[in-house]
Structures are given as C-alpha cells and as structure tokens.
A and B are shown apart, each in its own frame.
Chain A
C-alpha cells in the first residue's frame, strides 16, 4: 500500500502548476479566490489557454483535441486548477456532451462539434430538467414531432444553468409519446438562436442569475442534430450521468475553500485579536481537513482500484454525498468567518470581502443538482439492501 505519486505524476503536477502560475490571468485568480463564480468571458479566456496543451478536454483522445490523460493525471490537473484557483473546463461541453458525441454521435457531428466544444467556440448548456421532472428525469414531457427533415420541439426546460450564456443546448425530448417512460426519449442538439425559443432568468437565493427557464414553441431542429438513434436518447443520458466520476468528489475545491477560510480568519479582527486565534474554530477546521483527506484517499482508492469498484459499483454516490456535504459545511464555515462584515450586499466585482455569504446560500444547490443527496442514498441503499 502506498499513497505516493510516481515521479512521472509528480513531474506532471509540477508542469501543470508551473503552467498555471505562468499563464493564469491575475484578475481571474483574484475573483475566484474571493469566491466569485467565473464569468463566461473568464472561463472562455482561460479554457482557450488550457486548450493549447490539450488540457481544455483533458481526458479526450488527442485526435479530438484532448490530452488523453489518465484518471490520476486528470485528478492532479483538477486539483491544481482548484488550488490556483482557476476556472475548470466548461463542464457541459467537456465532461458531459463531448464523451456522448464520441460514443453515440456521427463522425460528422464529432468533427464539427468536438473542436468547438474544446475551444469554447460554442457554449452548450444541459436541457434535462423540467418543471414536472426533477429527480424523476424520465418523466419529461418536452416533445419533438418529426416533420420531414426536422423535429418540431414544444415544451419547457428549467434550472438550465448558463442558458443565458449558451449558444446551444443538448436536450432530452420525447419522440414517442406512446412508449413507456425511458423508451420514447431522444437526445437532440438545439441551436438556441432558433426561432421559438424563449429564455427567462431565475434569480437564485444568492441574488444572482445562474439559472433559467427555457421555453420551446414550435422550434424546428434539423434531423441531423439527433445524437444516437431516435427513441434511444436515454442511453445517451445514462452514459452522460454515469461517466463523470473523476471530478464528482471535488476534493480540490474543498481544500482551496478551507485554505481560504483560514486566510480570511487570519485577517478578521475579533476583540483586539484575530479570529484565527479561536481554538474552537481551529479545531473545526482541523476536523474538516481530516474529512477532506478521508474523501481524497477514498476518491483515489475507488478510482484507481478496480477491485474496489467491483465490490461497490455505486461508489460514485459515496463520493458525491460526502463531497457535497463537505462543500456545504465549508461554505457555511466561510459565511460564519465572514461574520457581520459579510452581511452587506456588495456588487459582483468586489474583491476584498468577496461573496462569501451568497456563495454559502448557493452551496445549498449542491445537494440538489446532479442527483439529490436523497437520490444518492436511494442508489446506495438499493446496493446495500436490494
């Protein structure tokens, strides 16, 4: 047993760290460190820099512009990006859609879209959730009716993160209303500039606009934008939802935010001293550090050990549950560290105090999106108890 990186892996870490050090624009680093989520422009700017090394799409094959990184190298890259902190490769393009196109798409779709996804020439968003279909995704009702060379799409998506920034969406639509639930669903790529699409903002509890409703009213989508076979879109969706395991634990994010909490506490005055001198806070941060380490080692153990995966096929749910719990605890801690100085509403460019309290509010979403914590526990208990 050992927990060491090989010399090659250590060299890779040093290479990534040096690259980020040299190339990450300081303004992006500062905004992210303060706690702001990256703006569209910041993610695009940085992803194009990463793309020079193939690190915009780290696990994709080289022929599609990726770097063919293995599990551990991907983890190292993500850890270093979080540590910087720098924006991660845009998740809808890179982790979600790209691999689906490679597995189910036509050669023409791959050739057209993959380089644009990697370079963020196109920004995709995910059109899965609907008002009536949250955890029960397969109950979705947005319909696509075949009419010659087009599908005519009608319906509504909701909770669509970054739809207001996006050029396209990949959407699950019902193409066979007669078939049972999962059977009649197709996976469509839809240009959001198409006539008949309306995007409405949803302001979340942090006072920000991340989420949207997307309405489809007789939207014409060329048949060539179907991915995989008609009525087999559920296969694409299942593949998409199950193949992202490497980043699910978000260990690097937890560690960076905990370090930030320590830094904020060190300059936060409290009754003549500084908050960092409070032994209760220190013990709490130590306990969080121990849990982050436990998650990190568990993440490595599952991702790198085939026998551990066989023993526990539902391991991704363990990682998501614990990762989310830690993210939420650390964000709550940051909000408490910010204390009364965190109460003032500040604009989204403010760097000195940062949006620590709004980020805490928004962190509550982590146990809702990507499979709620209750759904994760259902998955685990099915594994445990049948």
Chain B
C-alpha cells in the first residue's frame, strides 16, 4: 500500500498552487464570476502551459498519459482555489474521446486540446435520467456519409466555453439500455446545435444542448457497443475520482478558513476558538476531512485499476462518503464564521456552493447508496 504523492505529482501540485495563489485570488475569482466569460482565458493558457490539458491524454497523442491519481492533486488545488476554469469537462471530454475514438480522430482532435486551443465538454446526462448513470434518449441516425443527432443534453459543464462536445446518443433500444449507444463528436458551431447557456449556483459556466438534426462524427466504430460502454464507464470513473478530489480540496480550504477565523475573531473578550463547543466542531471537521482525503485516494485507485480489491465498490463509497463529509464540513465552516459566513463576499460560503454542485454531478449520494446497496446485496463481504 502506498498513499503519498510521488515527486512529479508533488512538483505539479506545488507549481499549480503557486500559479493559483498569484492568479486566482478570491477577489479575482469574484470578478470572473461576474464577467461574461465566467472564467479567465489567460489563466487557462497558463494551466495549459503547466501541462494540465495533456494530463489525461496518452503520450501517443502528445499528452502525459496521467492516471486519476495524478489528476487528484490537481483537482484538489483547483477545488481549494474555487477555480472557474472548465478543467473537469475538459478531462471528461478528452478521456471519452480517447477511449472511444480511433487513432486518426485522436490525432486530429487531441493535440489542439493539449495546446489549450480547443476545449471539449462532456454531454451525456439527460434530464429524464436524473441521477441514472445511463439514460440516453438522444438519437443518432445516418445521413449520407455522416450522422445526425436529435435530442437534449442537460447540464453540460463548460458548454459555453467549449468548441466541441463529446455526446452520447442512441442508435437503437430503450433509454436505460446499456447497449445500442455510441459516442459522437459535435462541433459547437454546427447547424442544428442550440446552446442555452447559464451559470450554475457555484458561478461556473454550463449549458443545455439541443440537437435538431445536428451533424456529428461517430467516434470509433459506432457498432462496437462494448467499446462505447467501456469508454463511458471509464469516463464516469475518472470523473467521480476527480470530483472527490476537488471536493477534498474545497474541504481543506474551508477548514483552513474556519480555523483561522476561530483564532482571530474575538467575542466576550476572548478568541471564539477558546470555546469548547466551537473547538469540538473544528475537531469533527478534521475527522471529516481526513476520511474524505482517504476516500479520494480510494476513488482514484479504483478508477486507475478497476480490477483491484473493492474497486467496483469504492467509486460508489467514495462519491457517497466524500459528498456527505464535504457538505457537513462546509456547513460547519459557515456556522463557525457566524453572520459573515452567510455573505457572498466571504469565501467560506462559496465552498458549500461548489460542494453542492459537485455532489449532484455524476450521481448524488442517494444514487450511489442505492447502487452500492444492490452490489453489496449481491456479495456482502466483497
């Protein structure tokens, strides 16, 4: 067993932390949240220079072939900085594209992503599926040499900032069937693509995509259902691990803010951190933080090595457990700040906003509890 970052992972984390400290102060981030773009193109370029865009892409296409455990410290830093950069959708899109696409497609579409010139987003979830990992009503059919899509993809993270979408669509079968789907690449500017863009409650950019006969490129062999299934499952696994990491970064930052506040704010002639009720709340937050950090590691390991002991259960356990601890910790952190914690100009509340969004993505706690319950019922002591 091994739980520590290796030298390369630590070095990347440190460089990213320095960059974010310089470029992504909370004040700067607030201004970005109010801007039309909802992110910082200059910062995005610097993230690309650091090599972040190439992380999830194989060396064969100019990337670094990083694993979920390499992405873990990156997501933790982005979460701690309340980053608005569309990094998670980029990771999801690139992962899906590489897993589903053929060599020529990967060679064509991935290098510009690594360079920070092209931005991908992952369009899989649909409103009627809610938290179902698999609910595809969007249809695809052949037209001439290509394909056209019809349907609606809800809550596409980073959609307004992307120039290409990786989209799941159905060739045959019912919405909840795992077979009969394929993955497609759709140009954001293609006719028949309509984007309704909006901000999420954590100020990040997202959108709803409506496809009305939109032209699409099928990634890989569209009849190879197995490959498509594997690509979607892997993309979700990487996404869950990344979200767990992001949440633990957010937790760590909210915890630090709360501790700092306890040691500076005075009431009744003494620091509020001298009161046992508040001290014990801080202790409970630390317990939550440590458990969540452990499960973020377990999620990354499970995404990287689906054959390892307990990996099939650990993604569900992690999403469930990290989500609950993160929410608990963020709520405690607000409480410890008192009234100021309720204001938009105080960073602490933004962590609850971010954590709530992340908790709802790729299946919320209840959805993962239900899935875990059925797996455990099949083999209790797995």
B373: A residues at CB distance < 8 A: 279, 282-283, 285-286
A381: B residues at CB distance < 8 A: 276, 279-280, 282-283
Cα of A80 to Cα of B325 in the assembled complex, Å? 29
**In this assembly, does B310 line the interface, its C-beta being within 8 Å of a C-beta of chain A?**
yes
A189: B residues at CB distance < 8 A: none
Could you mark each residue 297-333 of chain B with 1 if its beta carbon is under 8 Å from any beta carbon of chain A, else 0?
A: 1101100010011100110111011001100000000
**In this assembly, does B35 line the interface, its C-beta being within 8 Å of a C-beta of chain A?**
no
Cα of A119 to Cα of B295 in the assembled complex, Å? 39
Cα of A321 to Cα of B281 in the assembled complex, Å? 13
Q: Are A290 and B280 in contact (CB under 8 A)?
A: no
Interface residue count for A (Cβ, 8 Å)? 46
Cα of A315 to Cα of B370 in the assembled complex, Å? 32
A-B contact list, 18 entries, CB within 8 Å: A1-B301, A2-B2, A3-B1, A5-B309, A83-B381, A282-B374, A286-B316, A286-B320, A289-B313, A290-B369, A291-B321, A294-B321, A298-B291, A301-B293, A318-B286, A318-B290, A322-B287, A380-B286
**In this assembly, does B69 line the interface, its C-beta being within 8 Å of a C-beta of chain A?**
yes
Q: Are A385 and B273 in contact (CB under 8 A)?
A: yes
**In this assembly, does A312 line the interface, its C-beta being within 8 Å of a C-beta of chain B?**
yes
Q: Nearest Cβ in chain A — how far from B21, in angstroms? A: 20
**In this assembly, does B377 line the interface, its C-beta being within 8 Å of a C-beta of chain A?**
yes
Q: Are B3 and A304 in contact (CB under 8 A)?
A: yes
**In this assembly, does A384 line the interface, its C-beta being within 8 Å of a C-beta of chain B?**
yes
Q: Are A4 and B308 in contact (CB under 8 A)?
A: yes
- The residue on B at minimum CB distance from A287 is B369
Contacts A3-B310, A376-B283 aside, 7 further interface pairs with beta carbons under 8 A come to A4-B308, A276-B377, A282-B376, A283-B369, A322-B287, A377-B279, A378-B280
Q: Are A301 and B377 in contact (CB under 8 A)?
A: no
- The residue on B at minimum CB distance from A283 is B369
Q: Are A384 and B300 in contact (CB under 8 A)?
A: no
**In this assembly, does A107 line the interface, its C-beta being within 8 Å of a C-beta of chain B?**
no
- On whether A282 and B377 interact (CB within 8 A), knowing A1-B297, A3-B301, A297-B294, the answer reads yes
Q: Are A297 and B297 in contact (CB under 8 A)?
A: yes
Q: Nearest Cβ in chain A — how far from B371, in angstroms? A: 8
Q: Nearest Cβ in chain A — how far from B72, in angstroms? A: 8
Q: Are B317 and A293 in contact (CB under 8 A)?
A: yes
**In this assembly, does B97 line the interface, its C-beta being within 8 Å of a C-beta of chain A?**
no
Which of A259, A289, A318 lies at the interface centre, i.e. has the most chain B CB atoms within 10 A of its CB? A289
Q: Nearest Cβ in chain B — how far from A140, in angstroms? A: 24
A255: B residues at CB distance < 8 A: 381
Cα of A1 to Cα of B369 in the assembled complex, Å? 25
Q: In the complex, which of the residues B287, B297, B316 contacts A321, with contact meaning CB atoms closer than 8 Å?
A: B287
A315: B residues at CB distance < 8 A: 290
- The residue on B at minimum CB distance from A298 is B294
**In this assembly, does A374 line the interface, its C-beta being within 8 Å of a C-beta of chain B?**
yes
